Structure formats: C-alpha cells, structure tokens
Structure 1
Amino acid sequence: MSALEPVTSGDAVLDASRLRRLYGRYPTGVAALCALRSGDPVGIVATSFTPVSMDPPLVSICVQHTSTTWPVLSADKHIGISVLADSQEAVSRRLAAKKVDRFADVRWFSSDTDAVFVDEATAWLDCSISQAIPAGDHDVVLLQVNRMSMNDAAAPLVFHDSRFRTLVGLDR
C-alpha cells in the first residue's frame, strides 16, 4: 500500500487529474437524462445516477455548474432517465457530445409529461425535480420517481477507469 496523500483545495494546489482518476476507480452505471423542450429532445449523460430513497422514491444525479444543457433540461420539472444498456456505448457518446445533434441516430420515445426515454435501455424512470443542492463545482439534484419500467433482457452499461465496460456473468 502506498502512503496516503493529503487532499486539499482552496489555497493549496489540488491535482484534479489524479483525483478524477481516483474517482474513476469506482464503477458506475450510465444514465441518459432527457426531455422535450419546445418540442425538441434535449439530453445529457450522467455517470453519477444513484438510488436514494424508497419512500418517497428518490434518485439523484450530479450536474456540473458549467453544463450549458442542464439549464434548458431542468427548465420544466419532468425528466426521463434511461439507464443505458451494455449495447448503448455509442448512444452514450452521442448524447454526451458537444455542438452536434445529440439525438441523430438515437431511437427514443416520450411520455405525456414530455420526459424522453432512450429505446432499448435497461430501465426507464419518469421523474420530477425535487430539489438541487449546491455541492462544490456541481449540484446534487434529487428527483422524485413518478413512473418506471424495466427491460429484463438488457444488462447495464458500466463506466470504470474512463472506459465503458459490460458486466460478465449476469443471470438474466
């Protein structure tokens, strides 16, 4: 085991690239957050999607303050969350791209609440924004789950060590 290094911020220099690598050691799922705004689909990708509470049903995501899409996406309360399947790496990359039509070649559908969902994902949640809590350079956003559905035939896409991965040995 190597010696632990102090992590500080503010006046001290924080090695952000090393901290990002350290955070990347924790595998996460990949979720698309999408909705219709002014009749067009808008979306982002989050690897910070986390279940929070069963009663009430809450999930959370973290959104960087520099996001230019989040202010548009969060303008209305309803958002669709699609937990991407292991076959949807290209969809994830497309929805995370900048200055392109993020929904070109992405199959999607919407609900009566204007939540947008990615076709063939492993799970779908129709959510409404409960609250946003400032946390450093991000906001932690709590979302109330209003409706949900699962695709038992699909395994989740995993992000680990800055790479997309699949889970091996899943009993489906």
Structure 2
Amino acid sequence: MPEGYPEIPEDVPQIFRAAMRRLAASVSIVVAKGDDGPVGMAATSITSLTVDPPAVLVCVNRATSLHALLVPTAPLSVNLLSRHQQDVSAAFGGGVPREQRFGIGGWYEGGNGLPALEGAQANLCCVIDAMLAYGTHSIVIARVLEARISDDVAPLIYQDGAYL
C-alpha cells in the first residue's frame, strides 16, 4: 500500500461486499472478439462516461476469459438487457457453457462485427480507447461508435443476488 494511505481494517472487504449487494444495478452483456468467435459475460459495473465523445466505462475482472481479449482499439459490444431477458443474463453469468451462450436470445451482427442482442434496452457498438488496472479488475473506457435503443424502458435490474 502506498505510503500515507490508511490501513484497511480486516472486516471491511466482507462488509463492503455486503454493502455493494444492496446497490441495484442494470444488467448488461459485454461482448468481445475471440479467436474462436465472440466471448461474452454478464456485467453490472457499466456506466456512461461522457457524451463528447460518447463513451462508457466498463469494469471487468482480470480473471475472466473476456478480459484477455480487451486491448485498445479492439471492438466491444455492450447490450443493456430488458426485464424479460433474465435467461440471457443467467446464461452469460456462468449458467451456460461459454460456447452455448449465444444460443440464448436472438443475436444479430452489430456495426462493429460483434453480436448485438435483439430486444435489449440498448445496444452499443464500441471500440476500446483505454484501460486502467485497479485491484482485481480493469477499468475499460469504450468509445461508442453506434447506438440503438428500444422504444420501451424496462431494464433488467439485479440486486442482492436476485432480479427485481
């Protein structure tokens, strides 16, 4: 730990994890291009960053198979799930083997060549601008090159291990 920073009490990580489970978040599927086809994962750590240029911030655990595919200038697809897409979230959250995940839900080819999910709240075709390692994760800044939105506003929300 850098000099001058206070020590973190031993019980804080466990309490912090419990606190963050109380934070309701929209569920998205993040997709990158792999050697054998697309690779995707469910994520709740996504937020808008700027409008000029249009960009999102995505936090990805460095232990995931998706992380190895994330490098500056690589394409990235971000699909904000609709309330009726719990099956897609569960599949990409690890409930289905990686090679079978894109069989759940309807997918089409987005503007950056990656799969985009039909019926999602929004689909963002992006390119990775920058990455910053922090703890167990990388903070990925992705520039949005194309966006598509649904007419209905009914996001899939996840909190404390369940969908709301």
Scaled by the length of structure 1, the TM-score of the pair is 0.81
2:38 aligned with 1:41, yes or no? yes
Residues in 2 aligned to 1:62 and 1:39: alpha-carbon distance in whole angstroms? 23
- SS of residue in 2 equivalent to 1:50: strand
Classify 1:66/1:14 alpha carbon distance in 2 versus 1 (closer, same or farther; 3 Å).
farther
Residues in 1 aligned to 2:115 and 2:105: alpha-carbon distance in whole angstroms? 11
The one-letter code of the counterpart of 1:26 is: L
Once structures 1 and 2 are overlaid, which stretch shifts more, 97-106 or 149-158?
Answer: 97-106
Sequence identity percentage: 24
The 5 Å alignment of 1:137-152 reads: 137-152=136-151
Structure ranking higher in helix proportion? 2
Residues in 2 aligned to 1:88 and 1:135: alpha-carbon distance in whole angstroms? 30
Aligned residues: 156
Scaled by the length of structure 2, the TM-score of the pair is 0.84
Offset, 1:18: 2.7
Instruction: Decide whether the 8 Å contact of 1:121 with 1:154 is kept in 2.
Output: no
Q: Partner of 1:164 in structure 2?
A: 163
Unmatched tracts of structure 2, length 5 or more: 1-5
Unmatched tracts of structure 1, length 5 or more: 1-6, 166-172
Which 4+ stretches in 1 moved above 6 angstroms?
none
- SS of residue in 2 equivalent to 1:66: coil
Offset, 1:25: 1.5
Q: CA RMSD in A?
A: 2.1
Offset, 1:33: 0.9
Q: Partner of 1:18 in structure 2?
A: 15
